[in-house]
Chains A and B, each alone.
Chain A
Amino acid sequence: MTRKRRRLWIVLACGLSLGVAATLSLLALSPGMELFVLPADLAQRTPTPGRVFRLGGLVQAGSVQKTLIGREPAVSFRVTDGKASIPVTYVGILPDLFREGQGVVTLGEVQPDGSFRASEVLAKHDETYMPKDVAEALKRNGLWNPAAGPPPPASTWNTLNARQLDTKQTGQTGKAGG
């Protein structure tokens, strides 16, 4: 075995051990790496009152109610993960991307009545980027309702502009009708 060979084996062995060690540590630490808790997790284990944590999920469609407390804007909505939902109240200014159907991460604590009082609301945005007119065309043709869920598969729209989406849609309806 040449010296280069031996050094290569040593480096590979060290790399393998390090990889195994890192994997095991990550598996052990994995719950701590989560940024937020989902409503379904919260339903399983009752959190200690007064403990501040992050609750995340989607803003349930039709649940957003905006009011004013004094001169501060206040909002209440439900955060859902499809399995469970938690009512959230927040006093303050919401991020621009906040809307129904949007992912949010809220920081706060559970109240005695089971609702979640947030001191911070952050908006998540998904990995989808589309021009305004394409989004409008998808909505106009009934292919997507942003409040209800994620956009249709990217391959159906990412190469098209709004006009092409419109003609494609009317073409398909025409065929279906005939």
Chain B
Amino acid sequence: MTPADSLVPASRRNSGFTLHRFANPGRFLRLSGAVLPWVAIPGIGLTVAGLIWGLAFAPADWQQGETVRIIYVHVPAAWLASAGYAMLALCALLSLVWRHPLADLAAAEISPVGAVFTAICLASGSLWGRPTWGTWWVWDARLTSVLVLFFLYLGHIALVHAFDDPQRGYRAGAILALVGVVNLPIIKFSVNWWNTLHQPATISLFGAPTMSLAMLWPLLIAALGYTLVFVALVLARTRAAVMERRIRALLMARAELAA
């Protein structure tokens, strides 16, 4: 602890401490190892249950017919694409301001998972658009902003790995991730601000969902499952990254010893 830190009031020092207690890789590995099965197993279970319920047992829509079942794949993926980006931006903030070492590793592991969820959202949306709207793709504000989100994820993946010094890659990636946050409200409100082919939100914080409960339940269960699977994937990948860094440090130490 530097002298400057001891001038900070005890309460503030405490909050810094809570944030940084997970910076200890050993503690992170122990804790995440204990939590992981409790996230992964319910996540897979709820996803499978929600999808089976939605794809096989939920009622068909009065005008879309069976095609509506794509919603159980598409909507949770879309939610997680945006929520995952919010997680990425949070890690970027923790990394830029508080120099949290685990935040850098987590950010680098979130973006590939987020990119996959965004790809699922785009692909399933395209498959849904063809029979209902009559087109695979249209350049309306919602579809375009989600495509931009996909490229932001890809850009983050590329940027993080573009430097010989990993720290510089993490720094550049964090800045990109924070700048890209501008896109999140655009995605959410694109369907309200401009006229689009994509319809506005069915489920909102205020007001009743414009969806029968028989269809809403499997959707919410699948969404909860997707969320847990997303978190489990990021946790497992971050654990692997921590272990990889340890092994690399050990190998370097051994090489130096031998030299």
Write the residues of chain A forming the contact surface with B, with a CB cutoff of 8 angstroms. Answer: 2, 4, 7-8, 11, 14-15, 18-19, 22, 26, 30, 33-36, 38, 56, 94-97, 99, 105, 120-136, 146, 151, 153-155, 157-159, 161
Contacts and interface: CB of A to CB of B under 8 A. Distances in A.
A2 B59 CA distance: 59
Contact of A18 (B59, B134, B179): B179
Interface in B95-128: 96-99
Q: Tell me what chain A mostly uses at the interface: helix, strand, loop, or mixed.
A: mixed
B208 A18 contact: no
Contacts of B132: 95-97, 123, 125
A51 B62 CA distance: 37
Given A35-B195, A97-B64, A132-B62, A158 B213 contact: yes
13 contacts: A4-B16, A26-B186, A35-B194, A35-B195, A35-B196, A95-B132, A95-B134, A97-B64, A124-B197, A129-B61, A131-B212, A151-B210, A161-B214
A154 B208 contact: yes
A158 B141 CA distance: 29
B68 interface: yes
Contacts of A126: 199, 210
B63 interface: yes
Contact of B209 (A26, A95, A158): A158
A56 B193 contact: no
Nearest to A94: B134
A121 B134 contact: yes
Interface string B1-18: 000110010000000100
A127 B202 CA distance: 5
Contact of B215 (A120, A121, A131, A133): A131
B202 A134 contact: no
Q: Which of B93, B133, B193 has the most CB of A within 10 A?
A: B133
Given A96-B132, A124-B197, A154-B210, 7 more contacts: A11-B97, A35-B138, A125-B64, A125-B132, A128-B210, A131-B214, A132-B59
Contact of B60 (A22, A26, A131): A131
Interface of B: 4-5, 8, 16, 59-64, 68, 71, 93, 96-99, 131-135, 138-141, 178-179, 181-182, 186, 190, 193-197, 199-202, 207-216
B195 A158 contact: no
Contacts of A94: 134
Q: Which of B16, B179, B214 has the most CB of A within 10 A?
A: B214
Contacts of B197: 35, 105, 122, 124
A153 B5 CA distance: 57
Contacts of B182: 18-19, 22
Q: Which of B138, B140, B195 has the most CB of A within 10 A?
A: B195
Contacts of A130: 61-62, 211-212, 215
Nearest to A31: B194
B147 to A, nearest CB: 14
Contacts of B16: 4
Q: Which of A35, A133, A135 has the most CB of B within 10 A?
A: A35
A2 B4 contact: yes
Contact of A11 (B96, B190, B209, B215): B96
Q: Which of B139, B178, B208 has the most CB of A within 10 A?
A: B208
Given A97-B64, A131-B61, A4 B98 contact: yes
A124 B194 contact: no
Contacts of B199: 124-127
A136 B99 CA distance: 59
Contacts of A161: 214
* 6 residue pairs, one from A and one from B, having the closest CB atoms: A95-B134, A131-B59, A135-B62, A155-B208, A154-B208, A154-B210
Contacts of B181: 15
A21 to B, nearest CB: 9
Nearest to A56: B195
A129 B71 contact: yes
A19 B212 CA distance: 37
Contacts of A125: 63-64, 132-133, 199
